[in-house]
A = this chain, B = another copy of it.
Amino acid sequence: MGKDSEKELVGVKEIARRANVSIATVDRVLHHRSGVSEKTKAKIQAIIEELDYKPNILARRLASKKVLHLAVLIPLVSQETDYWNAPLMGITQAEEEIASYGVKIHKYFFDLNDRSSFVEQANLIADSQCDGVLLAPMFIEESKSFIQSCISKDMPYVLINSDIPEQNSLCYIGPNLYASGYLAAHLSGFLLTETDQILIVNISKEIDNHHHLLRKEEGFREYFSVNKRANDIFKIDIRQTTYEYVKSSMQNALDNKNIKLIFVTNSRVSSVARFLEETNIHGIKVIGFDFLKDNIEFLKKGTIDFLICQKPIEQGYKGIMTLYNHLVFSQEVEKVYHMPIDIITKENYLYYRN
Contact = CB atoms under 8 A, between A and B. Distances in A.
Interface of A: 54, 56-59, 61-62, 100-101, 176, 179-180, 182-183, 186-187, 190-191, 223, 338-343, 345-348, 350-353
Contact of A56 (B100, B186, B346, B347): B100
Contacts of A59: 62
A345 B56 contact: no
Contacts of A348: 179-180, 183, 340-343
Contact of A346 (B186, B191, B338, B339): B186
B62 A347 contact: no
Nearest to A102: B58
A343 B346 contact: no
Contacts of A190: 190-191
Given A190-B191, A340-B352, A342-B342, A100 B58 contact: yes
A305 to B, nearest CB: 9
A348 to B, nearest CB: 4
Contacts of A58: 58, 61-62, 100-101
Contacts of A223: 347
Contacts of A183: 345, 347-348
A57 B340 contact: no
A223 B347 CA distance: 10
Contact of A347 (B186, B342, B346, B353): B186
Protomer copies? 2
A116 B321 CA distance: 44
Contacts of A100: 54, 56-58
Given A59-B62, A343-B343, 9 more contacts: A58-B101, A62-B62, A176-B351, A180-B348, A187-B345, A339-B353, A340-B348, A341-B348, A342-B342
A90 B209 CA distance: 40
A100 B53 CA distance: 13
A285 to B, nearest CB: 10
A57 B187 CA distance: 48
Contacts of A342: 340, 342-343, 348
A182 B347 contact: yes
Contacts of A353: 339-340
A328 to B, nearest CB: 12
Contacts of A343: 342-343, 345, 348
A6 B128 CA distance: 23
17 contacts: A57-B100, A58-B58, A58-B61, A58-B101, A59-B62, A176-B351, A179-B347, A179-B348, A179-B351, A182-B347, A183-B345, A190-B190, A223-B347, A340-B348, A340-B352, A340-B353, A341-B347
A223 B187 CA distance: 20
Nearest to A343: B343
Contacts of A346: 186
Contacts of A182: 347
A182 B348 CA distance: 9
A10 to B, nearest CB: 12
Contacts of A56: 62, 100
Contacts of A179: 347-348, 350-351
A285 B169 CA distance: 43
B341 A351 contact: yes
